[in-house]
Amino acid sequence: MGRRLVSLTGDNVGDLPSPCRSCVFWEAGHRQPDPTRKDDWLSTVLLDWGSCGRLLYVDGQLAAFAVYAPPQYVASTWAPARLLRRPVRTPYS
């Protein structure tokens, strides 16, 4: 069984499975599919920060992947901070 771990690049972003290939929820903060926007985001992060993902291939097939970036490049990372400002309700409060 051959395994290969590579950085996510503009050349292999097309290997991401659907719907992940066109999903820009974390990158742009909306759920409308937009593969061009994902490509633009990837290019920006690669140029400004560096590698922002890994792809794992097993026997030539994509088996797993991870996409990551600093918070300033990920629009939806701001949402949890807004949620934390709300009072926490428990069944006992």
Q: What's the whole-model pTM score?
A: 0.75
- Reported as a single tens digit per residue, the pLDDT across 30-52 is 778 888 888 999 999 999 999 99
User: Left (φ > 0), alpha (ψ -120 to 50) or beta: where does 6 sit?
Assistant: beta
Residue 16 contacts residue 27 (beta carbons within 8 Å): no
Which of 65, 64, 59 is CA-nearest to residue 2? 59
Burial of 73 (0-12, 13-18, 19+ CB in 10 A): middle
Highest-pLDDT range among 13-17, 27-31, 76-80: 13-17
